[in-house]
Amino acid sequence: MSKHEFEEPVAAEVQEVGMFGPVGRPVLLSEEVVNSISSAISEGRLQPGSRLPTEQDLARSFGVARTVVREAISQLRHDGLVYSRQGVGAFIAPPEARTALRIGPDCFAKRTELLNLLQLRTSVMADAAALAAELRSMQQMAAMQDALSEMQAAQADDKDGPERRVDAEHRLYRLIAEASTNEYYLKITLMIDGQVLGKLRSVAVKNARAAEWDDYVLAEHEAVVSAIAEQDAVAASQAVRRHFDLAASRLARRADIADI
């Protein structure tokens, strides 16, 4: 056995320093607490006027030191999201008292997903509408008119209007996909509906109230139905594309501003 047999191999020196990128800035614990409480406010789980748990309870819940919670509440107070009463505690501020509230990471991810689905719907529904204009039956046309009428009625409903509007809009475009007679357009539409009306429903309803609640937006849908009624395939496709392009732009412009 040679004397070199048990020697450990010498590792080659790594010369390509470029294979490593800069490390990201670690998120402070206080920022995570701020994001969590901000998300609860934007999602309505914490209502205006309600009192936050004590610093001790929050620290126990988040698994952090009380100093971390104190720093987070100070930031929330600076942003106008909470206010303090001496000797009583911290309370959720009313919307009119808040500065611009940024949504938390989870909500932002959901809104980004909704934007991606809107962009997917654009091409799918534009092509489906062109076929629907040529192939729709009188019964299908009547059903589309009913869905549009429900959207128009929802516009005047201050309480449940946004939810009614979202449901009626998705029904309208499902009917258009059905009228195209192409089962794959319908399958893709149903897949998108399952995502939007399922896990993204609250985001879609808030977006309807914040960005889609105007007569000119309703007119975009009316143009789609009108073109299909007139059996104008080109106009139907253009009207659908115009609406979904504009809807995606309206959502994207809102960035991560919360709906409160």
| pLDDT tens readout for residues 161-202 | 899 999 999 999 999 999 999 999 999 999 999 988 887 888
What was the pLDDT predicted at 102? 53
Cα–Cα separations (whole angstroms), residue 186 to 51, 108, 189: 47, 28, 5
Regarding whether 89 and 62 lie in a shared domain, the answer is yes
pTM: 0.60
If you search the block for the tokens 């997903």, which residue do you land on?
A: 113
Please name the residues in contact with 90: beta carbons below 8 A apart, sequence gap of 6 or more. Answer: 51, 52, 73, 76, 77, 82, 83, 84
Structure confidence at residue 14 as a pLDDT band (50, 70, 90): very low
pLDDT at 24: 43
* CATH number, residue 84: 1.10.10.10
What pLDDT does 190 receive? 93
Tell which residue, 244, 164, 150, 145, has the closest CA to residue 209.
164
Pair (174, 74) in one structural domain: no
- Per residue in 153-166, pLDDT (tens digit) is 998 887 888 999 99
The H-assigned helical ranges of the chain are 29-42, 55-62, 66-78, 105-135, 138-154, 161-179, 183-196, 201-211, 215-229, 233-253
Does some domain include residue 13? no
Residues 116 and 178 in one domain: yes
pLDDT at 241 over 80: yes
Confidence at residue 23, expressed as pLDDT on a 0 to 100 scale? 44
Instruction: Note whether 225 and 158 are same-domain residues.
Output: yes
Per-residue pLDDT band at 105 (split at 50, 70, 90): low
The residue segments making up the domain with residue 79 are 29-97
- Report d(CA 259, CA 1) in Å as an integer: 76
CATH number of domain containing 221: 1.20.120.530
Q: Is residue 62 part of a domain?
A: yes
pLDDT tens for each residue of 205-236? 888 888 888 889 999 999 999 999 999 999 99
Please give the tally of structural domains in the chain: 2
pLDDT band at 108 (very low <50, low <70, confident <90, very high): low
Judgement on whether residues 122 and 197 belong to the same structural domain of the protein: yes
